[in-house]
Structure 1
Amino acid sequence: MAAFDLVFRARRVITPEGETPCRVGVRHGRVAAVEPLTGVEATAWPADRVVELADDEVLLPGLVDAHVHVNDPGRAEWEGFPSATRAAAAGGVTTVIDMPLNSVPPTVDRAGLAAKRAAATGRVHVDVGLWGGLVPGNRGELPALHAAGVFGFKCFLLHSGVAEFPPVSPADLVAGLRVLADLDALAIVHAEDAHLVARAAPGPATGGQAASYARFLASRPALAEHTAIAAVLAAAARTGARVHILHLSSADALPMLAAARRDGVRVSVETCPHYLSFAAEEIPDGATQFKCCPPIREAANRERLWRGLADGVIDYVASDHSPCPAELKRLDVGDFDLAWGGVASLQLGLPSVWTQARRRGFALTDVVRWLADRPAAIAGVTGKGRIAVGHDADFCVFAPDAAFVVDAARLHHRHPVTPYHGRTLTGVVRQTWLRGREVTGDVPRGRLLSRGHQVEEER
């Protein structure tokens, strides 16, 4: 009988100890051994299958994208579990955590959670966890949702873009955080101040003004982010709750976040590949595929976000994949006022981040920390994000020096709209493995994850 079901052999493997040549033994879908590739320890390992990586390939842990809008059920024509999870797998992502809004019903009560799980069951190609929602009037539902295994609770401090997921008031936020503090549950927050955004909103566009990216950027000022983040930090300090700032776009908030952490506030922070890749000065007028909220800001701000990652103030990077049908992006008229705000990029997170990271002297070990290890740890996804004994045998076979030009029509997202179209990226995902089985996109073998354990066995 073989000692292992599967063995990977590679000259470059990213482990928690760093990059090293080693072999990884898999048994029953989990990592059973990690040992040096050569030397006296490298005795023969009997295995049913041995995968030898090419000289230009690196074995990474499967990535964890903790900020994905699948929109299923209710708006599955925008994306849907099959297409979203195929795209994830094509990008080396083996775990996604789906946001509670843009689906109908939203995941704000037990009925919404049941509908979400029913929509996902048997239809996912990677493992999927779920966030719950904090909205006005649902505080009584939070303990039951927490007990049912959602990974935390999202709220908005201004209009979410969909009527069925309303924003919380300052009083709602504090009251909700008190409940979540008692549960030791994570609150994840879209932090922009509603009053400042309303005050900055431009009047009716005339003479093509609606196509101006500069005008759109001015409508979501950095001050609105800072003011909202300050309110979240104050509420967290007051209640003792754990809070997470979603999709940080303004680097001006970094000193405030670092100071709060030093003062004992339990706060974590994410940013997104588009904030690390693009710059406002380079976005053409009418290019509504770049519209997202908070917005992509200036090049100098982008470099300060990179410093925030290097310093550890920003914990990880997540896609905030928020797709929609092409017609809702209003590319026909290039109108930022009318276009849906969201960047479709789930498949491209690793190459987009790596393309920028290597230019700035970062290593693959840094990228793995930002895209796998830290999101798994902060969200509480057990057994994911590391190549380590006992963890799930989730892997990404990555060629870091290969390059490709993004063709939106060839991505696995449902709609061929992304700001990365035509952009040359470095780093190609060649294989993705989920619990010791290669993901081909043919048979959905993903599981639904619950905080701390799996809730549906593989089909």
Structure 2
Amino acid sequence: MYDYHLVIKNGKVVTPNGVKDYEIGIKDGLISALEPEVKGSTEQIWNAQGQYIFPGAIDVHVHFNEPGREVWEGFSTGSAMLAAGGVTTFFDMPLNGIPSTVTKEAFEEKKSIAGSKSLVDFGLWGGLVPGNEEELSALSESGVVGFKAFMSPSGNEEFERADDDTLLKGMRRIAQLGKVLALHAESTPIVELLQKEKESQGLSDADAYASSRPIEAEVEAVQRAISFARITGCPLHFVHISSAAAAVEIQKAKQEGLDITLETCPHYLLFTHEDLAQKGAIAKCAPPLRKKHEQERLVEALVEGQIDMVSSDHSPCTPDLKDQDNMFTAWGGINGGQFTLLSMIELALIYDLPFHEVAQWTASAPARRFGLDKIKGELKVGLQADLAVVHTSDAFTAVKDNMYDKHKFSVYEGRTFPCSVAAVFSSGEIVYEKNKGLISTRPGGKWLKPVENDLSSAACIKKRG
């Protein structure tokens, strides 16, 4: 009988208190020792010489589209892609499956599919749409992470945007249920008016699309949602915030004591409107990529601690939905779930940020916000042995041969990161190794039912300095 199933030696362990020269002892899927020298017998030794060990990333915003649209991306290919990028837990959004996850029955169907296919652990969002207020209690009891709603058209007929009446009533009920509402915040009146104006002028290129979804549309929706939160007491999580101006409004609300977090995405931090103009619809998303000076302001907000977490918003589709010049009709979503951890490490290296902040954005803050911090999110004795081993002196260029998503086209293709994911462990079992690819294709991911959402720590992430 061994004391440990696995001991990882010679690595630099990224803890909340900084990088430590620790060894990690793993037993029964958990971290059972974390110290300068782990003593005792072990079945296996992994040499992480010269490499950094991060907690497995928790991506709270992906679209895997099952049931009904597995041809876009399903749980098998999607979870494999995330694992190759150092992600060991994900939350799937409710809108692109058929049916959308707006009833208990749809939730149970999706949970069964994901449980039979996912390589890593997962949670599932439920949806708030017009007419499903009576479904919220059953969805909550079933174990949704929280609820997702659109303040602007979703682009999916099966998942309508929530009008103000739906939002107010839904937020009141979600608050009673102790859940959180994730919001796509863009103003419908603004984006619809501006799009109609551009289309009436015969304009549908990158400039027309971007100008139809200005920062003002994001800010107005954020402000309105915050007003509703004051009235209802509903916890909010703003998804894919694209502008520093919106982040500032959310910070003001936090300072009032409101229960709110926000995420941004790597594509808003690494790419700009120029990429949309040059690369076409492959770089289309909503909100759109911003111009360079706005991107720099968003990065500054991240550096200053005004953004809680970073998620991919991996939103894939079949190539034909992107293969068009009309930016209003092309599918709006970035294919990039494999590159979140690498992107954030790149930014940390550029801006000389400590790696424990990367771990916070990608793992510990999501775990705290969504009730998983008792089992995940940090490298700590007693927590799940979800690990991403990263080599910071071994560059990685994204090409089709090393992309694991179903349709290998992405705005990230051709980008060279100054680091690479060397290996990934989920509950102590290796699922990916750079030189070998996926080690395991056996679905071993577990469904996670988060405990009561408690933002007492996550809402008050301190600013740098």
Same fold flag (TM > 0.5) = yes
Work out whether residues 286 and 334 of structure 1, in 8 Å CA contact, stay in contact via their aligned partners in 2. no
Higher deviation after alignment, 140-149 or 265-274? 140-149
Letter in 2 for 1:329: K
Partner of 1:352: 343
CA deviations on 1:235-273 (whole Å, 9 max, x unpaired) are 111111110111001211222211111111111000000
Letter in 1 for 2:86: G
Counterpart among 84, 90, 97 of residue 96 in structure 1: 90
Look up the SS of the partner of 2:42 in the other structure. coil
Partner of 1:119: 113
Work out whether residues 352 and 426 of structure 1, in 8 Å CA contact, stay in contact via their aligned partners in 2. no
Partner of 2:31: 31
Work out whether residues 9 and 49 of structure 2, in 8 Å CA contact, stay in contact via their aligned partners in 1. no
CA deviations on 1:168-210 (whole Å, 9 max, x unpaired) are 1112111111111111211100000100101111443888x43
Residue pairs, 1:23-422, within 5 angstroms? 23-37=23-37, 44-55=39-50, 57-201=51-195, 202-204=197-199, 209-210=203-204, 212-285=205-278, 287-330=280-323, 333-382=324-373, 383-422=375-414
Look up the SS of the partner of 1:160 in the other structure. coil
Look up the SS of the partner of 1:284 in the other structure. helix
Distance in 2, matches of 1:233 and 1:349, equals: 28
Report the CA distance between 1:334 and its aligned residue. 2.7
Distance in 2, matches of 1:285 and 1:34, equals: 48
Look up the SS of the partner of 1:121 in the other structure. helix
Distance in 1, matches of 2:365 and 2:241, equals: 16
- Identity percentage over the alignment? 36
Look up the SS of the partner of 1:119 in the other structure. helix
Report the CA distance between 1:113 and its aligned residue. 0.3
- 1:424 equivalenced with 2:416 (yes/no): yes
CA deviations on 1:32-73 (whole Å, 9 max, x unpaired) are 121124xxxx6x321111212122x11111110000000011
Letter in 2 for 1:277: L
Partner of 2:443: 444
Distance in 1, matches of 2:19 and 2:58, equals: 19
Q: What RMSD in Å do the two structures reach over aligned CA positions?
A: 1.6
Work out whether residues 64 and 95 of structure 1, in 8 Å CA contact, stay in contact via their aligned partners in 2. yes
Higher deviation after alignment, 166-175 or 94-103? 166-175
Distance in 2, matches of 1:408 and 1:194, equals: 37
Look up the SS of the partner of 1:49 in the other structure. strand
Report the CA distance between 1:11 and its aligned residue. 3.5
Distance in 1, matches of 2:274 and 2:286, equals: 17
Report the CA distance between 1:121 and its aligned residue. 2.2
Distance in 2, matches of 1:284 and 1:298, equals: 11
CA deviations on 1:408-450 (whole Å, 9 max, x unpaired) are 3531100011001111112111111110111124212111212
Distance in 1, matches of 2:146 and 2:328, equals: 32
Letter in 1 for 2:307: I
Report the CA distance between 1:281 and its aligned residue. 3.2
Report the CA distance between 1:282 and its aligned residue. 4.3
TM-score, scaled to structure 1: 0.93
Distance in 1, matches of 2:206 and 2:82, equals: 29
Letter in 1 for 2:378: R
Partner of 1:456: none
Higher deviation after alignment, 381-390 or 318-327? 381-390
Task: Classify 1:4/1:410 alpha carbon distance in 2 versus 1 (closer, same or farther; 3 Å).
Answer: closer
Distance in 2, matches of 1:335 and 1:173, equals: 31
Distance in 2, matches of 1:86 and 1:367, equals: 22
Report the CA distance between 1:91 and its aligned residue. 0.3
Report the CA distance between 1:400 and its aligned residue. 1.6
Distance in 2, matches of 1:424 and 1:175, equals: 47
Q: Could you list the runs of 5+ residues in structure 2 that have no partner in the other structure?
A: 432-438, 453-465
CA deviations on 1:105-144 (whole Å, 9 max, x unpaired) are 1111111101101221221111111011111111111111
Higher deviation after alignment, 88-97 or 392-401? 392-401
Distance in 2, matches of 1:418 and 1:250, equals: 22
Distance in 2, matches of 1:254 and 1:123, equals: 36
How many aligned residue pairs are there?
A: 443
Report the CA distance between 1:225 and its aligned residue. 0.4
Q: Could you list the runs of 5+ residues in structure 1 that have no partner in the other structure?
A: 454-459
Work out whether residues 10 and 58 of structure 1, in 8 Å CA contact, stay in contact via their aligned partners in 2. no
Distance in 1, matches of 2:199 and 2:295, equals: 30
Higher deviation after alignment, 280-289 or 415-424? 280-289
